[in-house]
Amino acid sequence: MSSEPAPDREPRLAARVAALLAPHASLLALATLLVLTSTALTVAAPLLLQKIIDEALPAHDVALLGLLCGGMITAGFLSNLTSLYQGRLIYRVGQRVVHDLRMKVYDQVQRSPLTFFASESNSRTQSILVSDIGEISDTLTFSLQSLLLSGTGLLAAVGVIMALNWKIGLLSIVLALGLSLVNRRLARRRFMLTNLRQDRVADMMRRVEEDLSYLGVVAGRTLGRTGFQRGRFLAASLDTARLTFEERMAGRTGYAWFGSALACIPPAIYWVAGTAFPEISVGTIIIIAMLQMRLTDPIENLMLVSADIQSSLAVFKRVFAVMDLETDPSIEPSREERDGSAGTPLPRPPATLELDGIGYSYPGAARPALTGVNLTVRPGEVTMLAGPSGSGKSTLGLIIAGLLTPLQGGLRLAGRPVDPRQLRGVVTLVPQEAPVFNASIRENLLFGRPDATQDDLERVLGAVRLTSLVRSLPAKLDTVVGERGYELSGGERQRLALARALLSPSPILVLDEAVSALDVITGAEVHASVLHHCADRSLIFIAHRIPVLAHEDTVVLIDQGRVTEHGTHAGLLDRHSAYAHLVRSQTTVAAPAPAPAPVPDTAGQPDS
């Protein structure tokens, strides 16, 4: 993303900002009406003061003096009251717009293709959702309110001055226009600096996310690079501070000169009125001077608000860039999902999943990740996807789970074409780095099935051999596992994620290196227990370490995105195939496994 939009894009950017406010036009109109009322009441006070000076005081008219003073008090009270309510309206509109905008950005990112999350920094998304939209909140509340108050106050003051003496009023208008033109040039630099600063803030957040995470701290300490990590954060922080200072100070020198110039106006009015316009009354001269003094704050506020709005356009640009991201059509909610009506029910198990000529390529990749993959997954069968690193096994798992849309070929369930959205309703994937949330063990499990009972939770914990661990914890199931689950070991995190997947009602499970963090003995026991627990489900294993398989289990060997061997476990071993060589090289027991039985969850077993 460029640091500053092209000039011809600015009108379109402003139009999009205006479109955000359009649904709240009625509230904004009411707020504007209250601002006009407050401004009129504010202007009334000096006019009443003019009458006091020119008429009531010289004539010693107590009744008129009381009436005029009472009018000033009433005008001041009503002005502040209307100002209070218009502020409430502006804040309400601002927060509604910010909430809507934040949800639109969240939804847009959530609907983005899976490849977006691999290439885009999560800290940048966080910066936009929190920092950028937070700045927009300030713009839509404080800046918008200041714009309305200062703008109407300036117009009202100029109008009264014009009525009292049009020559001085004309001078005021010329001055305001001149300052506005100069301010536009000053604001452009602040616009550019704001955009650069937000990029640096995102970079700094990325450093914090990487270096101060559990894995970042471990890497820095074990490799002796903590000083390097601190140094690059220091550089990012200094750069952010420098840009923030330059942004805040941009145009401040000009504003100081303008303030000094405006401060010279009242003495000049007294001098001009006393020499060139002797016929003007004392009250009129004082009121003109007061109103000219009141021009100072609105003009300076308008200059600052204009700069804030100009700089906030850079923030809006970043937010709109996210809102314009390409989305994955398969993530879009269907009409049935939006209105809550039931769609056409998918075939439930037993049902056969067929992959026909599946092909996929990642953007910018030198070769396709998958080419012409054919595969049949029958109900209750175990399928093993094997192959070297980078062969395309995990990509195939993502396609089967409906997380990637194949670029060639298609998928069928029970003979009917099925799209990625429907696949996600019948397939659950457990990746090697499965997410564990900073919540309790119970909450992590219920994420897979919110209506699961206590018995359900205990059953899946037993299946992955976590019962003893949970019982040993002070809060049992309600123990919080920490950021990314780092209160648990790597193997415990993997088993917790696997237990969550076992809770899901999906008839097909894809386990991608789901027990890679376990030792050989524990991994074999969990594998056997999962087979028993999922006897009525289709299981697809993706692993470098081949688990114990039965004779009839299906094996698919993938190399450079193509299926090079496909058959049963026993059949491929008998042919002395590449798969057989892979199994022997890992010294995996090749004998057919007996009918698996539940493995008791005993304490004291090793875990990596």
Rounded (10°) angle between helices 25-51 and 62-110: 160
Instruction: Give pairs for 588-592: CB < 8 Å, separation 24+.
Output: 588/545, 588/546, 588/547, 588/548, 589/548, 592/550, 592/551
Model pLDDT, residue 4: 42
Q: Report DSSP state, residue 223.
A: T
Residue-range domains of the chain with CATH: 7-196+241-326 (1.20.1560.10), 353-585 (3.40.50.300)
Return d(Cα 178, Cα 183) in angstroms, integer.
9
The bridge status of strand 508-512 relative to strand 427-430 is: parallel
Percent share of the chain, pLDDT over 90:
0
Instruction: Read off the tokens for 500.
Output: 């969550």
Of 505, 509, 518, 533, residue with least CA distance to 449: 505
Three-class secondary structure of residue 354 per DSSP = strand
343 pLDDT higher than 50: no
Main-chain phi, psi angles of 425, to 5 degrees:
-85, -15
Nearby residues of 16 by Cβ (< 8 Å), 6 or more positions away: 316, 320
Q: What is the mean pLDDT of residues 135-164?
A: 73
Return d(Cα 198, Cα 3) in angstroms, integer.
10
Model pLDDT, residue 344: 40
**What HEC string does 132-152 produce?**
HHHHHHHHHHHHHHHHHHHHH
Of the listed ranges 143-147, 540-544, 566-570, the least confidently predicted one is 143-147
340 pLDDT higher than 60: no
Q: What is the mean pLDDT of residues 587-608?
A: 44
Identify residue 266 by its one-letter amino acid code. P
Return d(Cα 500, Cα 430) in angstroms, integer.
9
Nearby residues of 281 by Cβ (< 8 Å), 6 or more positions away: 50, 53, 54
109-127, pLDDT tens digit by residue?
777 767 677 666 666 677 6
| Beta carbons of 109 and 119 less than 8 angstroms apart | no
Mean per-residue pLDDT of the chain:
75
Three-class secondary structure of residue 72 per DSSP = helix
172 pLDDT higher than 80: no
Of the listed ranges 208-212, 400-404, 474-478, the least confidently predicted one is 208-212
Of the listed ranges 48-52, 165-169, 454-458, the least confidently predicted one is 165-169
Identify residue 59 by its one-letter amino acid code. A
CA–CA distance from 551 to each of 14, 499, 521, 590 (Å)?
Answer: 67, 27, 21, 9
Q: What is the mean pLDDT of residues 476-494?
A: 78
150 pLDDT higher than 70: yes
Main-chain phi, psi angles of 360, to 5 degrees:
-155, 145
Model pLDDT, residue 93: 81
Rounded to two decimals, the pTM is 0.62
Q: Is 174 exposed, middle or buried (0-12, 13-18, 19+ CB in 10 A)?
A: exposed
pLDDT-derived band at 297 (thresholds 50, 70, 90) equals low
pLDDT-derived band at 307 (thresholds 50, 70, 90) equals low
Q: What is the mean pLDDT of residues 380-387?
A: 88
Q: Tell me the β-bridge partners of 373.
A: 358
Three-class secondary structure of residue 388 per DSSP = coil
Model pLDDT, residue 2: 40
pLDDT-derived band at 174 (thresholds 50, 70, 90) equals low
HSE-up of residue 12 (Cα within 13 Å, Cβ side) = 8
